[in-house]
């Protein structure tokens, strides 16, 4: 066996202090922070490593997320390859308006660094010198949520196994199983499903703009983003249930062209499309984020529509608070931090929910939208362009300081 095979199949103990279900950004970062704080933990991830590392998702990191990644030891490549952005552009009525982050927020910026790269960096660190991380370990259920020793049941390599824990943290995303361990009636979920989806593509072409462009058009929303100086990431609002294979490359570029159209000579550059996928949009919050010895973090506890670029940042914020609380328990025996976890995180979560809802409903065109609704959206966008106060509210929320 080579070194890589050995490190991918570590010896997993039968018991631990913190059992982490899910090896996405939330689970991996939590494991890293706990390891640094001297708290024993194990991460169980249902997918294989390559799948987790290649899943195309977020691209925008708030400064606070970058800071915690740096502190966790995962900042080296991010500092080298991450692209710092000083603003975004909003587009409507065939014109653009720039939101200047430093000017409106007292110097704040955001970073463009793909979630795939964050995940790769965290996995590499963890396999080199971290807590045990097991891929292809499908958690089937968590039992004993009402006892002092909850048990995580999982299958790996065809065998059924258990992990006894002092605490279990569900970092297992929106479709996870940890939430189900909490008895009916103990949790409340608040939810909104949107009547449209995002069609995301990756294209081998330099981004046509230095900064992200969020476009409102009568044909629907579009977003121009990037993964590097040579790879573009673009999104189109499409009806729910759209088949991504039903569009030709040319149809995709034509539609993007139509939605980003502005007066003047700006042009969208086209290139080979290397990936395509459709994702539905949803807002959801589960309260509280803790029951007994079970905790929920990241998408397992809350979902935002991607328009505000908040999901990954909320996941990082949750696990930062949680790792600090476990560290406090470990060092001093005090559970004050754990007791405050849900309340502390939910105030940030609800702010991000409101902002993501605002961005989504201001920029998308609902199927039943009437001209009155559209005039309200345009009025809102005009107000952002005219008023430094309105622009600052957007900027503070986007960079994360209003949260
Ligand atoms: P996930 O990334 O969903 O990870 C959960 C993990 O748990 C997965 O690896 C899964 O395989 C594993 N798992 C699930 N069930 C089990 C089980 N039973 N047993 C073991 N393991 C299990 N956010 C931003 O901040 N900025 C953006 O720009 C942005 N853009 C986005 C664009 C798109 C297209 C999408 C889809 C999302 C975007 N987001 C963005 C949101 C962001 O990607 C998520 O919020 C983030 O992935 C949440 O991380 P997580 O670790 O909580 O959950
Ligand atoms: C990206 C995704 C978002 O949801 C967003 O608001 C900005 C950028 C991206 O994937 O690059």
Is 211 in the same domain as 228?
A: yes
Is 204 in the same domain as 237?
A: yes
Average pLDDT over residues 185-212: 97
Q: Has residue 102 been placed in a domain? A: no
Cα torsion angle, 15, 20, 23, 26, sign: negative
Residue 272: domain span: 194-280+368-399
Report the separation in Å between the CA atom of 20 and the middle of ligand 1, taken as the mean of its atom positions: 14
Is 129 in the same domain as 240?
A: no
Q: What is the mean pLDDT of the chain?
A: 95
Q: Is the CB of 360 under 6 A from ligand 2?
A: no
* Residues 80-133: tens digit of each pLDDT: 999 999 999 999 999 999 999 999 999 999 999 999 999 999 999 999 988 999
Is 377 in the same domain as 311?
A: no
* Residues 337-365: tens digit of each pLDDT: 999 999 999 999 999 999 999 999 999 99
Q: Is 208's pLDDT higher than 90?
A: yes
Is 187 in the same domain as 256?
A: no
pLDDT at 2: 39
Is 213 in the same domain as 263?
A: yes
Average pLDDT over residues 139-168: 97
> What tokens does 297 get?
């973090």
Q: Has residue 160 been placed in a domain? A: yes
Q: Is 6's pLDDT higher than 80?
A: no
Report the separation in Å between the CA atom of 27 and the middle of ligand 1, taken as the mean of its atom positions: 10
Is 351 in the same domain as 212?
A: no
Is 379 in the same domain as 340?
A: no
- Atom 6, ligand 2: residue with shortest CA distance: 309
Q: What is the CATH number of the domain that holds 150?
A: 3.50.50.60
Does the annotation count 190 as an active-site position?
no
Is residue 214 within 8 A of residue 230, CB to CB? The reply is no
Give the active site residue among 235, 310, 341, 364.
Answer: 310
Report the separation in Å between the CA atom of 114 and the middle of ligand 2, taken as the mean of its atom positions: 9
* Residues 27-74: tens digit of each pLDDT: 999 999 999 999 999 999 999 999 999 998 889 999 999 999 999 999
- Atom 3, ligand 1: residue with shortest CA distance: 173
Report the separation in Å between the CA atom of 38 and the middle of ligand 1, taken as the mean of its atom positions: 26
* Residues 74-92: tens digit of each pLDDT: 999 999 999 999 999 999 9
Average pLDDT over residues 193-220: 97
Mutation pick for ligand 1 pocket among 27, 32, 58, 181 (CB with most ligand atoms within 8 Å): 58
pLDDT band at 8 (very low <50, low <70, confident <90, very high): low
Q: Has residue 140 been placed in a domain? A: yes
Sheet arrangement for strand 83-85: 60-62, 110-112, 83-85
pTM score, two decimals?
0.96
Q: Is the CB of 400 under 6 A from ligand 1?
A: no
Q: Is the CB of 142 under 6 A from ligand 1?
A: no
Is 355 in the same domain as 382?
A: no
Q: Has residue 94 been placed in a domain? A: no
pLDDT at 401: 85
Q: What is the CATH number of the domain that holds 244?
A: 3.30.9.10
pLDDT at 402: 74
Average pLDDT over residues 196-204: 98
Q: Has residue 186 been placed in a domain? A: yes
Q: Has residue 390 been placed in a domain? A: yes
Is 41 in the same domain as 137?
A: yes
Report the separation in Å between the CA atom of 37 and the middle of ligand 2, taken as the mean of its atom positions: 32
Report the separation in Å between the CA atom of 386 and the middle of ligand 1, taken as the mean of its atom positions: 36
Q: Is the CB of 66 under 6 A from ligand 1?
A: no
Is 57 in the same domain as 141?
A: yes
Share of residues in the chain with pLDDT > 90 (%) = 94
Q: Is the CB of 306 under 6 A from ligand 2?
A: yes
Q: Has residue 100 been placed in a domain? A: no
Is 273 in the same domain as 172?
A: no
Q: Is the CB of 16 under 6 A from ligand 2?
A: no
Q: Considering every ligand atom, which ligand is closest to the CA of 141?
A: 1
The count of structural domains within the chain is 2
pLDDT at 10: 77
Is residue 165 within 8 A of residue 18, CB to CB? The reply is yes
pLDDT at 1: 35
pLDDT at 4: 42
Does the annotation count 153 as an active-site position?
no
- Atom 11, ligand 2: residue with shortest CA distance: 59
pLDDT band at 5 (very low <50, low <70, confident <90, very high): very low
Q: Has residue 335 been placed in a domain? A: yes
């Amino acid at each position: 066996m080579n070194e890589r095979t050995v490190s991918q199949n570590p010896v997993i103990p039968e018991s631990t202090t913190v059992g982490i279900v899910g090896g996405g950004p939330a689970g991996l970062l939590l494991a890293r922070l706990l390891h640094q704080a001297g708290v024993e933990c194990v991460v169980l991830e249902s997918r294989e490593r390559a799948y987790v590392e290649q899943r195309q998702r977020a691209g925008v990191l708030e400064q606070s997320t970058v800071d915690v990644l740096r502190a966790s030891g995962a900042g080296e490549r991010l500092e080298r390859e991450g692209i710092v952005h000083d603003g975004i552009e909003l587009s409507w009525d065939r014109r653009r308006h720039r939101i200047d982050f430093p000017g409106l927020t007292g110097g704040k910026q955001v970073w463009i660094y793909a979630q795939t790269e964050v995940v790769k960096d965290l996995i590499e660190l963890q396999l080199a010198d971290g807590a045990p991380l097991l891929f292809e370990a499908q958690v089937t259920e968590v039992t004993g949520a009402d006892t002092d020793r909850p048990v995580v049941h999982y299958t790996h390599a065809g065998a059924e196994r258990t992990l006894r824990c002092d605490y279990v943290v569900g970092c297992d995303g929106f479709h996870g199983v940890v939430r189900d361990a909490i008895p009916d009636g103990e949790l409340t979920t608040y939810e909104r499903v949107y009547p449209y989806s995002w069609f995301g593509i990756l294209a081998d072409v330099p981004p046509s703009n230095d900064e992200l462009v969020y476009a409102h058009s009568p044909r629907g929303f579009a977003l121009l983003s990037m993964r590097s100086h040579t790879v573009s990431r673009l999104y189109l609002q499409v009806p729910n249930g759209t088949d991504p294979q039903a569009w030709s490359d040319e149809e995709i570029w034509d539609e993007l062209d139509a939605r980003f159209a502005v007066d003047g000579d700006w042009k969208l550059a086209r290139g080979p499309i290397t990936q395509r996928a459709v994702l539905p949009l949803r807002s959801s919050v589960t309260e509280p984020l803790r029951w007994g010895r079970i905790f929920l973090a990241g998408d397992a506890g809350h979902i935002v529509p991607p328009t505000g670029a908040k999901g990954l940042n909320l996941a990082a914020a949750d696990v930062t608070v949680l790792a600090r609380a476990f560290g406090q328990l470990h060092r001093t025996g005090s559970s004050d931090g754990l007791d405050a976890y849900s309340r502390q995180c939910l105030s940030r979560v609800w702010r991000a929910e409101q902002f993501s809802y605002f961005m989504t409903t201001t920029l998308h065109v609902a199927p039943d939208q009437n001209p009155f609704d559209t005039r309200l959206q345009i009025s809102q966008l005009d107000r952002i362009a005219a008023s430094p106060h309105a622009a600052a509210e957007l900027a503070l929320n986007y960079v994360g300081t209003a949260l």
